[in-house]
Amino acid sequence: MSSISYSDCSADAPLVLDLRELRCPMPLLKTRQQLRQLSPGQRLKVLASDPGSARDIPAWLRHTGHQLVQSTQQSDVFEFLILVQEEKK
């Protein structure tokens, strides 16, 4: 089950999409679904534990034009900070 939350009350806070319990291909599909609901300039932080996410999410972002601002791994959790852009057609 995925969850969505704001990390704090500030307008600049990224939306947090917690996908740590999901397995491939769901982290990528849920990330895609959430990005389509956001406006350019907004930020999304994705948390995922599926190893395929480390490869799949950055590759998909390059293809669509969204900006991967930061990608980190702590233990078995991958964290992606994404700046929403207009999607390439």
Judge whether 2 and 30 are in contact, CB under 8 Å: yes
Considering only 4-8, 41-45, 68-72, which range has the smallest mean pLDDT? 4-8
pLDDT band for position 1 (cuts 50, 70, 90): low
| 27: β partners | none
Bridge partners for 45 per DSSP:
16, 81
Q: Indicate the residue type of 70.
A: Q
Check if CATH label 2.40.50.140 holds for domain 3-83: no
Give per-residue pLDDT as tens, 44-57. Answer: 999 999 999 999 99
Residues with a catalytic annotation lie at 24
d(CA 73, CA 16): 16
The more confidently predicted of residues 16 and 5 is 16
Short-list 15, 29, 1, CA closest to 81: 15
Q: So where are the chain's domains?
A: 3-83
pLDDT reported for residue 2: 57
63 contacts 35 by C-beta, under 8 angstroms? no
Report the predicted TM-score, pTM, of the whole model to 2 decimal places: 0.86
